[in-house]
């Protein structure tokens, strides 16, 4: 459906109509064209030569606003010059507005960390100015950046704050925009029912307002069309995209007119109405070329290629795909280039040209791997930035608290001039509050120190512990791919078994890593219920049965059938799976592993996972369950281990009100104990 660049323009457009309601709206139907009109911005740029001071600032800001919809790089350029003038005149409000323009320009370019920096600068200034309305508008835009970064929890946290403020102040337009963003989150998370419910509610609010916002209405219809397309309901997608197109034509927003025409063309391809699809795609391509909309031209060429493949017009498909490849290379657009290679492979395969089909499919795989690698690196950088952002937000909270205390203290000093006795009481109260506040700050600092250790551990696992098994797996697959004809059947079987072990190990490591990260972020929901313990152990035993058989290990289950516990099922599964897998991992061939239980005081059940494996020294046992210690070691068959699984176990057991500990002797074996509540 709508291209990535088109989505940026769409969200920025809605945000502009929210930030500048006097500029956008039904009473000024040509205002959008005024904002994006090239002739208008050219005249503004020319006029800069005769302007200075604050007049130059205003013109630079207008130019930056224009480019927010078309060219993020230019938007940032003009907004930065405007910012320098605002700093020179020490005008905090203008500094904040220029910082917002810089943030939105970086967002349009896809530089999300830089976007957050600009918006956070503006938020700090508006906080000092105590402008709650502006603060909440900035929070809304920060949420939009978080959505693009797929940090949905951060986005929802901000949007819920803004929703509460809008409801309290009865700001219907702001409420609608905030609900629009929340609906986008549900859409991105594939929760289509909630997304549709939200978009339709925004539509109702907008339609019943005194001055309905056409840009917002058009954006809603476009998003609803996207949802129905993803659900496979192409008729409804066509209807909503056509409605959105008609609205964009009314306000003459040419970029979005082209985007809607392309989306309609794609829906019609799915509906097999090829002749009408061709008409819409021709209109879109002509529109894109007339406004020099390069991203739109590439999207149109992609859809033309899809149409030509669907109608078996393979020479025409090669022509449009070749043109798309040329533009992708010249614009360094890897996302479109990877689509080209996939479509080339499809065309050549369907025409019986298997060698070029294989060559292009290989290019597709290789480039896709490069893109994935870049995205993973970016995610790691974003994780590090998340911590820095959280630390900065904590500092801001402390600063605000200290400012509040300072205000109260000044007020107390004024009262001392009138009533000495009252002043003494107030001073004592303030002193008590200050002591309490400092204690809170110390506690929060200690928590931050723990979080820093946690984050260091996280990056250590990503950069080292996960890298090695991935490289090993990549090496095996490369060896098979390059020497497939030279391997015997037995050798291939041996390699396949090794690869299967490697994949299973990677899956276990990634599962623990994700569970730990979700727990640290507070995303792991706690839902205790009554569970049959023996049945649950048997379920998890089935998952590792292949490992047990490969080592010839005797497994003993000593849990009564009638024993039930009260705990979270998903967390119990994770604890059992980790402890049982570790027991097998560190037990030699033909060894023994057992899981037993006994009831204890205070209505708890003690579960023991015992092995007669290699055991651990007292020194190593002391390091277990501690984030700052590195305890990973290899199993008896060279199985990889990070130690993260035990950290996950500790968090999950304690979350359910239990305890976990270990009793081990080197060379003899280990027993891991944990407790859960018995069902009443």
Question: Nearest Cα to 626, choosing from 644, 641, 610?
Answer: 644
Q: Is 123 exposed, middle or buried (0-12, 13-18, 19+ CB in 10 A)?
A: buried
Is the pLDDT at 375 greater than 80? The verdict is no
Instruction: State how far the Cα of 102 lies from the Cα of 53, in Å rounded to an integer.
Output: 19
Region 658-670: what's the mean pLDDT?
A: 93
**What pLDDT, on the 0 to 100 scale, is given for residue 379?**
53
What confidence category does residue 253 fall into, taking pLDDT thresholds of 50, 70 and 90? confident
Region 307-321: what's the mean pLDDT?
A: 95
Phi, psi of 248 (to 5 degrees): -65, -30
* 164-213 pLDDT per residue, tens: 988 888 888 888 888 998 999 999 899 999 999 999 999 999 888 888 88
* 256-266 pLDDT per residue, tens: 999 999 999 99
What confidence category does residue 335 fall into, taking pLDDT thresholds of 50, 70 and 90? confident
Phi, psi of 557 (to 5 degrees): -110, 115
Instruction: State how far the Cα of 316 lies from the Cα of 306, in Å rounded to an integer.
Output: 10
Instruction: State how far the Cα of 120 lies from the Cα of 19, in Å rounded to an integer.
Output: 17
Instruction: State how far the Cα of 414 lies from the Cα of 411, in Å rounded to an integer.
Output: 5
The more confident residue out of 116 and 505 is: 116
Count of other CB atoms within 10 angstroms of residue 592:
15
* 426-440 pLDDT per residue, tens: 556 666 766 776 667
Is the pLDDT at 596 greater than 70? The verdict is yes
- Name the pTM for this structure: 0.53
Q: What share of the chain is helix, strand, coil (3-state, %, to 5)?
A: 75, 5, 20
What confidence category does residue 124 fall into, taking pLDDT thresholds of 50, 70 and 90? very high
What confidence category does residue 72 fall into, taking pLDDT thresholds of 50, 70 and 90? confident
Structure tokens that stand for 413 in this block? 């000093």
Exposure b/e, 131-159, CB count within 10 A at least 16 = b: beebbbbbbbbbbbbbbbbebbebbbebb
Instruction: State how far the Cα of 407 lies from the Cα of 414, in Å rounded to an integer.
Output: 11
């Amino acid at each position: 459906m709508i291209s990535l660049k088109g989505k940026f323009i769409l969200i920025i457009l809605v945000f502009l109509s929210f930030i500048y309601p006097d500029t956008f709206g039904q009473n000024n139907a040509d205002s959008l064209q005024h904002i994006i009109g090239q002739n208008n911005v050219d005249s503004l740029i020319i006029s800069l030569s005769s302007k200075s001071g604050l007049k130059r600032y205003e013109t630079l800001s207008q130019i930056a606003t224009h480019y927010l919809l078309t060219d993020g790089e230019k938007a940032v350029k003009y907004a930065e010059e405007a910012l320098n003038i605002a700093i020179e005149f020490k005008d905090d409000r203008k500094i904040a507005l220029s910082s917002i323009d810089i943030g939105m320009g970086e967002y349009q370019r896809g530089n999300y960390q830089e976007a957050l920096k600009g918006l956070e600068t503006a938020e700090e200034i508006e906080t000092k100015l105590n402008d709650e309305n502006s603060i909440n508008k900035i929070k809304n835009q920060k949420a939009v950046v978080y959505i693009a970064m797929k940090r949905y929890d951060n986005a929802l946290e901000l949007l819920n704050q803004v929703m509460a403020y809008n409801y309290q102040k009865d700001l219907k337009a702001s409420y609608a925009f905030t609900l629009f963003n929340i609906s986008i989150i549900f859409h991105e998370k594939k929760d289509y029912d909630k997304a549709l419910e939200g978009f339709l509610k925004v539509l109702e609010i907008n339609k019943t307002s005194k001055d309905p916002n056409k840009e917002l209405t058009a954006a809603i219809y476009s998003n609803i069309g996207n949802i129905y397309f993803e659900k496979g309901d192409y008729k409804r997608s066509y209807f909503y995209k056509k409605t959105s197109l008609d609205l964009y034509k009314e306000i003459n927003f040419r970029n979005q007119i082209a985007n809607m025409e392309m989306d309609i063309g794609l829906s019609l391809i799915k509906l097999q109405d090829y002749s009408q699809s061709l008409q819409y795609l021709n209109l879109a391509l002509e529109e894109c070329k007339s406004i020099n909309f390069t991203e739109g031209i590439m999207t149109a060429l992609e859809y033309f290629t899809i149409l030509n493949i669907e109608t078996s017009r393979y020479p025409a498909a090669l022509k449009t795909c070749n043109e798309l490849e040329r533009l992708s290379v010249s614009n360094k657009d890897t996302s479109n280039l990877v689509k080209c290679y996939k479509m080339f492979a499809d065309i050549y395969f369907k025409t019986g040209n298997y060698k070029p089909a294989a060559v292009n499919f290989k290019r597709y795989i290789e480039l896709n791997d490069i893109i994935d690698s870049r995205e993973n690196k970016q995610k790691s950088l974003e994780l590090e930035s998340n911590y820095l952002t959280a630390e900065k937000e904590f500092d801001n909270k402390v600063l605000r608290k200290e400012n509040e205390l300072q205000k109260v203290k000044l007020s107390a000093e004024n009262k001392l001039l009138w009533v000495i006795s009252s002043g003494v009481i107030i001073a004592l109260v303030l002193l008590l509050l200050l002591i309490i506040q400092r204690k809170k700050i110390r506690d929060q600092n200690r928590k931050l120190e723990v979080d820093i250790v946690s984050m260091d551990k996280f990056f250590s696992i990503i950069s080292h512990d996960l890298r090695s098994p991935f490289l090993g797996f990549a090496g095996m697959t490369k060896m098979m791919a390059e020497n497939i004809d030279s391997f015997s059947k037995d050798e291939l079987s041996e390699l396949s078994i090794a690869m299967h072990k490697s994949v299973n190990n990677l899956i276990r490591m990634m599962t623990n890593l994700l569970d730990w990260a979700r727990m640290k972020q507070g995303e792991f929901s706690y839902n205790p219920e009554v569970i049959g313990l023996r049945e649950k152990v048997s379920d998890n035993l089935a998952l590792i049965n292949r490992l047990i058989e490969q080592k010839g290990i005797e497994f003993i289950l000593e849990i009564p059938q009638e024993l039930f516990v009260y705990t979270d099922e998903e967390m119990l599964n994770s604890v059992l799976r980790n402890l049982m897998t570790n027991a097998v991992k560190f037990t030699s061939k033909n060894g023994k592993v057992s899981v037993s239980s006994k009831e204890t005081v205070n209505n708890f059940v003690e579960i023991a996972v015992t092995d007669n494996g290699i055991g651990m020294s007292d020194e190593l046992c002391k390091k277990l369950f501690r984030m700052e210690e590195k305890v990973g070691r290899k199993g008896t068959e060279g199985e990889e281990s990070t130690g993260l699984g035990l950290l996950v176990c500790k968090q999950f057991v304690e979350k359910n009100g239990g305890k976990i500990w270990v009793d081990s002797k080197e060379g003899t074996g280990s027993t891991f104990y944990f407790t859960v509540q018995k069902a009443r």
